[in-house]
Amino acid sequence: MKLLQGFGNKFMDNNLNDLTVSELSALLEKKEISSVELTKLFLNKIEITEDSVNAFALITRDKAFEQASESDKRRKENKQSTFSNLDGIPYGLKDIFDTKNILTEAGSEIYKGRIPDSDAHVVKLLHENGAVLLGKTITTEFADGHPPETINPWDSSRTPGGSSTGSAVAVATRMLPYALGTQTVGSVLRPAAYNGIVGLKPTYGLISRTGVIPQSDSCDTIGILCRSVKDAGLILKSIVGYDPNDNKSSIEAKSFEINNNLNDSIPKIGFLNNYFMDESDEQVKYSTLSAIKSLSDNGAIIEESNINIDFESGFQAHRIVQQSEMAQWHELLYLKYAKKYKPITLEYIKSGFSKNAIEYINALEFRNQMRKIAIDNLKSYDVLIMPTASGLPPKDLSRTGDTRFQSPWTFTGLPSIAIPSGLSENGLPQSIQLVSKPFNEQKLLNAAKWIESVLGTLPAPVMKGEKS
């Protein structure tokens, strides 16, 4: 095995790449490993794996070692009584988050060579918490266009999902312990499902989007990709907060709190059978019902809860809003660079230009109705449960998969989380999705943690073609 310069065999046999954020944080706290050593470990994994999957737009090696050294210095000097759970731990950013003096190109030729002069708000928060930026991960063009040439590590013939494509693949293959992505329709939860990891989409307005290249102002939400529910809570706690520079930042974010010690109380669950099961393929139906049975056998209270929402009409309304707002933001770029857009991105922008004001207003009204019905239904439950995606990742690398099951909760701004529920008969990840009321992430995470304890987590995919 080719090792990075100055990095020996001290940790190579301990599978530290498989450890979660919370586990790595404990090692750093005990000084059993340094942040610099941890950074070298993950860079070595990238060196071995990246050529097989193409998850990174850019590796920020120098920046990572600078931040890791600063973290080690803080711990050595013991000037702080406590340290953030993210201090000294590497992470990745979808390449639509602005990073000071570091390329941010959004997967587009139009932004080729773009170097922001400041960090996105959420990046500032992470770095205040001592996080170590290892790289920018590949995205579809402008987070909703042409898919990148990133490989699904479970099956190279299938899409890895998107648009947070590289973030999900990098976490699944253990090149990163966690990464940030964004979701406008299903761009965090679906790649999480297709890659066998945890994906959290918080309540709309909970995390600032200042400095994140937009797509749809009323739908864009920053999300978290990681390997455990506990990690999702730790990361969320570090990046929430009100930001007056984001016009959709919620005032409720000022007082929002997450308890790191997620409890193991058994949740009351509403099972959305209508639409979601009707539209699922047989393997997804089987895996979902198997998960429901396991949860019930372990004491969960589960009731069928069929919401009176026309989900298909809701999906169409979502597309009207998303594409209209996407076209509005891209208008000036389109006038100047229309020929530089990739075909799928151009298709979506042109579709947005074709929408009229009445269509847009009607879609917004439909969203209001959906949101009210969903929240009313959730008064009876801690969470709702359903499949994350309608089927296995399709063998269609020109698209990123079916977005219909993730769409309702992004469109209405409700928090949702995808967690693995096992493997299909052909060895591909399966996933269930949980939804809760707005700003109810504590209850959502508590429920998800208990469910995770019943269903378990998935190992890393067995990669073919890794360097040795």
Question: Out of 163, 249, 250, 436, which one is annotated catalytic?
Answer: 163
Sheet (strand 198-201) strand order: 56-59, 132-137, 90-94, 179-183, 221-226, 198-201, 416-423, 429-435, 383-387, 268-271, 301-304
Question: Out of 187, 228, 250, 431, which one is annotated catalytic?
Answer: 187
Tokens of 290: 């198997």
* Cα–Cα distance for residue pair 465/468, rounded to 1 Å: 9
Beta strands 198-201; 416-423: pairing state: antiparallel
* Cα–Cα distance for residue pair 131/151, rounded to 1 Å: 27
407 and 322 Cβ atoms separated by less than 8 Å: no
* Cα–Cα distance for residue pair 164/166, rounded to 1 Å: 6
Active-site residue, 187 included: yes
Question: Out of 40, 45, 63, 94, which one is annotated catalytic?
Answer: 94
Cα torsion 446, 162, 431, 322: sign: positive
* Cα–Cα distance for residue pair 162/151, rounded to 1 Å: 11
Reduced to 3 states (helix: H, G, I; strand: E, B; else coil), residue 242 is coil
* Cα–Cα distance for residue pair 329/321, rounded to 1 Å: 12
Active-site residue, 163 included: yes
Residue corresponding to tokens 């009313």? 376
Tokens of 38: 């941890």
Question: So which residues are the catalytic ones?
Answer: 94, 163, 187
